[in-house]
Amino acid sequence: MRMTRRTVLLGAAASGAACVTSGAATQPTSAGFVRATFVGGAAGAWRVVSQRAVIGEGLAAVPFLDRLEGPTFEAQAPGQWRLVGVRSNERYSTRAEHDALASVQAGLGRSDATRACLIPMSKSAAWWALSQDERRELFETKSHHVGVGARYLPAVARRLYHGRDLGAEFDFLTWFEFAPQDEPRFDSLLDELRATEEWKFVSREVELRLSRG
């Protein structure tokens, strides 16, 4: 089970408008990307229910987490640790796959989605040594990443952030939201993805389960 700095969990369709815990409007960075900061510490909008290292080194245990979007939030967010990424362009999905996912996927911030999961992840040097078409073949032709993710929509909403673009600690930060009754489906989604050929390239993966309300 191995994968690194730019994962595309639950397909590759970009999510819609930003949902910021502070309530502020999302602003693009100078490069046109939206920056996100995940802050683990003594306070936050989400309570950490469980935290574990799936592959490699974990993160310091924290009781709460905040997800903040916007170019200025990183400097404003104290905490025990901070993880950063950007909402960027799609890397591996075709137009047909993008349109199919966009037609059924749910947005973030639904009132009934009181459970969430943050998965910071990095992939090995072997993954990044592959060409774009080789990574695409592993991602979808062999691992059916988009197809697997599509089966769990719209119950599980997700947003992907790229950390490798910033030279950050993790290649990818993937954020999921779902209702409590859909958590078993989310578990099945992770089981399917982690059993794929693509996951052999994961070099580090952490999983934080969260609750609010």
pLDDT level of residue 213 (50, 70, 90 thresholds): confident
d(CA 211, CA 117): 9
- pLDDT exceeds 70 at position 11: no
Query: pLDDT by residue (tens digit) across 39-83?
Result: 999 999 999 999 999 999 999 999 999 999 875 555 555 789 999
- pLDDT exceeds 90 at position 144: no
- pLDDT exceeds 50 at position 3: no
pLDDT level of residue 119 (50, 70, 90 thresholds): very high
pLDDT level of residue 130 (50, 70, 90 thresholds): very high
At residue 98's C-alpha, the angle toward residues 106 and 203, to 5°, is: 85
pLDDT of 183: 97
d(CA 83, CA 60): 12
Domain containing 197 equals: 2-211
pLDDT of 103: 52
CATH number of the CATH domain containing 144: 3.30.70.3420
Q: Higher confidence at residue 139 or residue 25?
A: 139
pLDDT of 37: 92
Give me the number of domains the chain comprises.
1
